Structure 1
Amino acid sequence: MAKLVEMDQNTTFFQQLASQDDGPIVLVNRLCVEPGYEEEFLRLWQDDAAYMLSNGCLSAQMHKGTEGSCCFLNIAVWENAQALATAFKSPEFQELLSRYPDSCTVSPHVFKKIAVPSVCVA
């Protein structure tokens, strides 16, 4: 199974899953794999994404690092933290996660859009 590496040392992913805040959230997940494993990783992730998209995920977009990088970045919009928590903790999704090798690292973290004056709106 992939190894969880926290993105933020002050707030864990599991603390975020316990949030009772309502409204959309953005899941950002950095995933790193061994060289040569990229195609298999994307096949596995495609199954994961299909499951999540049928369980509260509104959209997902995968990005790949450039210049031979073996790191990927998934950005997914969810209905709310509760939907993500329910889908993530489900036996079906945990079974999907078990297919990744131990050498794979994942760093999921939950974000909310914010407004920055003269730059962007929430």
Structure 2
Amino acid sequence: MLQLRPLDPSFAIDRQLATDAVPVVLMNVFTLDPADEPIFLKAWQDDAAFMKQQPGFISTQLHRALGEHPTYMNYAVWESTAHFRAAFSQPEFKASLAAYPSSAIASPHLFQKVAVPGICVS
């Protein structure tokens, strides 16, 4: 089963879910044992397919860190925390966490875009 380790221990994902914001980006870093990589990829693919069907889902992308030890980073764009909260709270999604290998540790955090004049828009 997937273990959760907050990126910011003072503001874990459950507190983030209670904050209303639009739009939001979920950044999730995963670490796991090399032998568990195929199991992890299948579990993530199944979860992504489920999330893709949920209202408010915009997009997702999985990245693998360079190097020999499997570290992955996923980002998913949602219309709002309310949409992500609804999807994250689905019993089917919660049950799917059992498919992840026991070595998998996820560090999820929600972010919002920031406007920097002359560089990027929010």
- TM-score for both structures, normalised by structure 1: 0.93
> Structure 1 residue 35 and structure 2 residue 34: aligned?
yes
Local SS of the residue matching 1:36? helix
Paired positions, count:
121
After the TM superposition, which residues 1-122 of structure 1 pair with which residues of structure 2 at under 5 Å, given as runs? 1-21=1-21, 23-55=22-54, 56-122=56-122
Gap change, CA 1:80 and 1:114, over 3 Å in 2? same
Q: 1:92 corresponds to which letter in structure 2?
A: E
Task: Tell me, in whole angstroms, the C-alpha distance in 2 between the residues paired with 1:98 and 1:39.
Answer: 15
Equivalent residue of 1:63, what SS?
Answer: strand
Q: What is the alpha-carbon root mean square deviation over aligned residues?
A: 1.1
Q: 5+ residue gaps in structure 2?
A: none
Secondary structure, in 3 states, of the residue corresponding to 1:49?
helix
Cα distance in 1 for residues equivalent to 2:44 and 2:64: 13
For residues 51-83 of structure 1, what are the alpha-carbon distances to aligned partners after superposition, in whole Å with 9 as ceiling and x for unaligned?
A: 001113210000001121311000100111011
Structure 1: which 4+ aligned runs deviate by more than 6 Å? none
User: Which AA in structure 2 matches 1:4?
Assistant: L
Equivalent position SS for 2:34: coil
2:29–2:72 Cα contact (<8 Å) kept: yes
Q: CA deviation at 1:105?
A: 0.2
3-state DSSP of counterpart to 1:119: coil
CA shift at 1:101, angstroms? 2.5
Give the share of equivalent positions with the same residue, in percent: 40
Gaps of 5+ in 1: none
Shift of 1:20: 2.4
